[in-house]
């Protein structure tokens, strides 16, 4: 963590809301009400604050319930997901109230996905000369990584441009093209049928992005990988799907966000308040 001096911490709240809910599903408060999502979120934030105590700026980002542009251009976007359980829904308002009382900034923008808020805020902060640590295990976020924007994933290690290069052999921004080719089942992004991880990475290492892949489509049948001719046919047949998938996978970096650095500043009493909520409200 020496490479990140006092980063601004951005937490993918929507992702960890669900992770917390399913991780502590049987938790109830003293009144017998479900509180696993609240407990898990506060516990996770508490652990982050303890580990990165020297960073005094933090914000938690959430999705809104409004329809987003992705749903408008592709009606099946995220259609494979079940509705939010009521036992989770009833915990959202209390969670927001607790975070506000503690002094932790939360942000949700109607019609804008949390990913796009995180991407746009990170870009804005980077342009202002800040270092950013995104707390998320959503692989979509890999496209946001730069020399100033890092990701803390579920395995508790920091993802840098080198991490992505070492694992995939591509640059962070090329991860968008990677998803456009293979699709993303978690978000129901289609991708190009019959193109798997190895083929997608081979093509991206050769051509760098899907635009360049299609500009060189006539060369693909002669490349040294299995079923090259069939892959070229698939790419031709699903060109529109590939570029639609790219639009769906690409996180926006230009959403107007009216927030100042001081809005994310944590007071010295924040950790104490958080600990008190964890120990006094819950049975466990």
Stretch 20-47: mean pLDDT: 92
Q: Average pLDDT for residues 150-156, to the nearest whole number?
A: 87
Token digits of residue 277? 């909520």
CATH class for the region spanning 172-249: mainly alpha
Structural contact between residues 60 and 107, judged by C-beta atoms closer than 8 angstroms: yes
pLDDT confidence tier of residue 2, bands split at 50, 70 and 90: very low
Asked whether the domain spanning 172-249 has the same topology as the one spanning 8-160+252-280, the reply is: no
For the chain, give the mean pLDDT: 93
**pLDDT tens by residue, 184-194:** 999 999 999 99
Check: CATH 3.40.50.1010 for 8-160+252-280?
yes
Q: What pLDDT does residue 281 have?
A: 61
Q: Rounded to an integer, what distance in angstroms lies between the CA atom of residue 17 and that of residue 271?
A: 20
More confident residue, 128 or 280: 128
Could you give the CA distance from residue 221 to residue 214 in angstroms, rounded to a whole number? 12
Domain boundaries, the chain: 8-160+252-280, 172-249
Report the percent of the chain where pLDDT is more than 90. 80
Q: How confident is the model at residue 283 (pLDDT cuts 50, 70, 90)?
A: very low
* String of DSSP letters for the chain: -TTSSSPEEEEEHHHHHHHHHHHTTT-BBTTS-B-HHHHHHHHHHHHHHHHTTT--BEEEE---SSPPHHHHH-TTTTTTSPPPPHHHHHHHHHHHHHHHHHT-EEE--TT--HHHHHHHHHHHHHHTT--EEEE---GGGGGG--SSEEEE-TTS-EE-HHHHHHHHSS-GGGHHHHHHHH-BTTTTB---TT--HHHHHHHHHHHSSHHHHHHTGGGGGGSSSTTHHHHHHHHHHTHHHHHHHHHHHPPPS-------GGGGBPPTTHHHHHHHHHHHSB--
Cα 264 to the chain's mean position, in Å?
Answer: 19
To the nearest 10 degrees (0 to 180), the angle between helices 161-168 and 175-182 is 40
Is pLDDT larger for residue 154 or for residue 116?
116
Rounded distance, CA 280 to CA 2, Å?
35
Interval 257-261 mean pLDDT: 92
pLDDT band for 53, please (50, 70, 90 cuts).
confident
Neighbours of 73 (CB within 10 A): 11
pLDDT over 60 at 282, yes or no: no
φ, ψ of residue 11 in degrees (nearest 5):
-100, 130
d(CA 202, CA 207): 9
Q: Look at residue 24 in the predicted model and tell me its pLDDT.
A: 95
> pTM of the predicted model, to two decimals?
0.93
- Residue 191 CA to chain centroid, in angstroms? 19
- Structure confidence at residue 120 as a pLDDT band (50, 70, 90): very high
Tokens 């640059």, located at residue? 171
pLDDT tens for residues 204-253?
Answer: 999 999 999 999 999 999 999 889 999 999 999 999 999 999 999 999 99
């Amino acid at each position: 963590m020496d490479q990140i001096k006092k980063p601004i911490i951005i937490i993918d709240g929507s992702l960890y809301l669900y992770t917390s809910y399913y991780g502590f599903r049987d938790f109830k408060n003293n009144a017998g009400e479900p509180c696993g999502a609240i407990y898990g979120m506060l516990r996770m934030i508490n652990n982050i604050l303890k580990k990165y105590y020297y960073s005094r700026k933090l914000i938690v980002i959430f999705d809104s319930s409004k329809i987003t542009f992705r749903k408008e251009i592709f009606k099946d976007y995220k259609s494979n997901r079940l509705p939010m359980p009521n036992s989770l829904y009833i915990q959202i308002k209390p969670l927001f109230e607790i975070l506000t009382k503690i002094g932790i900034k939360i942000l949700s923008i109607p019609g804008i996905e949390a990913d796009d808020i995180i991407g746009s805020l990170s870009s804005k902060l980077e342009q202002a000369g800040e270092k950013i640590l995104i707390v998320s295990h959503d692989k979509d976020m890999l496209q946001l990584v730069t020399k100033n924007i890092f990701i803390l994933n579920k395995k508790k290690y920091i993802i840098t441009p080198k991490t992505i290069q070492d694992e995939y052999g591509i640059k962070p921004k090329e991860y968008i093209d990677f998803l456009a080719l293979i699709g993303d089942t978690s978000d129901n992004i289609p991708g190009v049928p019959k193109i798997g991880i190895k083929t997608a990475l081979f093509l991206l290492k050769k051509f760098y992005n899907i635009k360049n892949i299609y500009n060189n489509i006539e060369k693909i049948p002669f490349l040294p990988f299995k079923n090259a001719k069939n892959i070229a046919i698939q790419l031709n047949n699903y060109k529109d799907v590939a570029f639609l998938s790219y639009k769906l996978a690409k996180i926006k970096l230009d959403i107007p966000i009216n927030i100042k650095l001081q809005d994310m500043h944590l007071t010295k009493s924040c950790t104490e308040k958080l600990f008190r909520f964890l120990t006094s409200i819950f049975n466990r």
